[in-house]
Amino acid sequence: MKHRENGSMRHHGPARIEIKPIKAGMQAADLVDSYYNAYNAARLREICHLMARKILKKDVTVGVSLSGALTPAGFASLLVPMMEKGFIDYVISTGANLYHDLQYGLGFEFHRGSPFADDIELYRNRLIRIYDIIIDFDSLLESDKFLYTLIDQKEYQRKMASSELHHLLGRDVDRVERRTKRVGSSILGAAYRCDVPIYTSSPGDSTIGMNVAARALSGGRMEFDVSLDVNETCAIVHEAKQNGKSAAVMLGGGSPKNFLLQTEPQLQEILGLELAGHDYYVQITDARPDTGGLSGATPSEAVSWGKVDPDMLPDAIVCYSDTTLAFPLIASYVLTRCRPRPLKRLYRQRTKLVRELREIVAKRQRDGLRSIRGTISRKTEAETVRRRKPSKKRRRAL
């Protein structure tokens, strides 16, 4: 019997798990490559490799969704450098994440606390708890005052996409950051500087939306154009698919995940365009798929909706983990291993992209209507001939 050195997978099988004593001072990227061997650690390593080898190529448009209380935990520290390196092209977020990001930009403080704090005592001391993060209630009031004052300005007094509102807010936050020498503390500010459009899938479900609603009670005319949000994100994905590939990177689940993924069914099912779904699918979630919720829905389920290209399913990876555990490693990995990409500056292009999508849809509808009319005309003509032609019984009678 021939000896099989290292088993039957010596040359062509998966990489062997090696025992290498860990060393002090290792970079996070080296740690992931060498020691994240199995289970969700392996899925995280696979996400890192997919990001570095495929997703962050120049021809891929990367959309990132944010759900869960990420910005209170300091996620601007991760997302701002990634925006500046061209690794994030557009964002879909809960409004709450953007509101707390705004607070960081304004210089308000968040503190580490305990999930076991006495909430009654916190309430008496005008402190608010987000699990184990503590913020001062008065900082909310000051942030609301800042928002309310901005929304009251003339340039805000109109209907607009959430991307435009967030761009205007980012401009004003950027001014504060520059004045206080705190540039880089806010995702909104960085998105403004990098022309990264940011959307909110549920604009009324946050303190930003609540301030807009409050201003409307006293005559304010600022209004969210939710249809334009849908059309802008669809136009971005359509452009991505025409000239390259599209990647959906989802931190958590919820409404932002759905809003990012629904771009493909909107283009295919509703608008009738021939596309094949997002090319790359990455998600970090702690939600289970067996409860039927969207947050835990798998990439293969997304294929059935047309959200993911079925041919690209091998490039769809889910890591079941807390985002605050997994994503700092992923961010560190790509910032270490990947070269910066040119900024796509999609905010500047969004109006043009929507106009082009509108023209494509209008042409298709005209062609489709012409085809339908032609079919109806042929059916009507055939029916007329049939009616004019005498039956056999009548011909015999004649």
pLDDT tens for 283-311 read 999 988 888 888 887 777 888 878 888 88
| pLDDT exceeds 70 at position 282 | yes
Tell me: pLDDT of 392 over 80. Answer: no
Which tokens in the block code for residue 310?
Answer: 């079925």
CATH code, domain carrying 80: 3.40.910.10
Which residue range is the domain that position 48 belongs to? Answer: 28-361
**pLDDT number for residue 314:** 85
| Domain presence at residue 175 | yes
Distance of CA 383 to the CA centre of its chain: 52
Per-residue model confidence (pLDDT) at position 173? 96
Beta-carbon neighbour count of residue 244 at 10 Å? 14
pLDDT, tens digit, 9 for 90 and up, residues 179-219: 999 999 999 999 999 999 999 999 999 999 999 999 999 89
Residue 14: inside a domain, yes or no? no
Cα distance between residue 332 and residue 324, in whole Å: 13
pLDDT at 249 over 60: yes
Mean pLDDT of the 268-281 span: 90
Residue 100 pLDDT class (50, 70, 90 cuts): very high
Give the end-to-end CA distance of the chain in Å, rounded to a whole number: 95
Residue of 307, 363, 379, 393 marked catalytic: 307
Number of structural domains (the chain) is 1
Helix, strand, coil shares, percent, the chain, to 5:
55, 10, 30
Report if residue 167 sits inside a domain. yes
Indicate if the alpha-carbon torsion angle 147, 152, 156, 161 is positive or negative.
Answer: positive
pLDDT score at 283: 94
pTM over 0.85: yes
Q: Is residue 297 part of a domain?
A: yes
Question: Is residue 307 among the annotated active site residues?
Answer: yes
Q: Is residue 386 part of a domain?
A: no
In this prediction, residue 157 carries a pLDDT of 92
User: Is residue 86 in a domain?
Assistant: yes
pLDDT above 90: percentage of residues in the chain: 72
Q: Give the E-state strand segments of the chain in sequence order.
A: 60-66, 90-93, 110-112, 127-130, 133-136, 159-160, 198-200, 223-224, 245-251, 280-285, 316-320
**8 in any annotated domain:** no
Give the model's pLDDT for residue 15. 82
Say which residue, 7 or 99, is predicted with more confidence: 99
Is residue 9 in some structural domain? no
